[in-house]
Structure 1
């Protein structure tokens, strides 16, 4: 369990805001929030107050999952269903 914690600390988490999520995915605001609430897209992380962000690596993994699904390839991610 300590090894897992150490690995998490070695990789910095990069937060991205909604405009960048939209740019990376080509999805609109409503679609992003709807899919996140349905468990089909990474959920946002509260940063404090009303500010939220997404973890960039999770969004990029979702992108990769979509490409794999379109190509009929298996994906390692638990986000795609």
Structure 2
């Protein structure tokens, strides 16, 4: 099954988070609950007040994959 592509090269992380929420029609609270972080963490990610730790990036991108949103690096032309 081909999922939605998330261009991780040309989108800043805050924009990626907002895009995923928009596509999945989730509030910040709903996304936070599904990833296992606080609402405040998602809010800070979107406002660029906090850069996610590597473990949190893993949770976010795993969540994306589980929901049919595939990270893609369009500059390289390869899926990640």
> TM-score, normalised to structure 2's length?
0.35
> TM-score, normalised to structure 1's length?
0.34
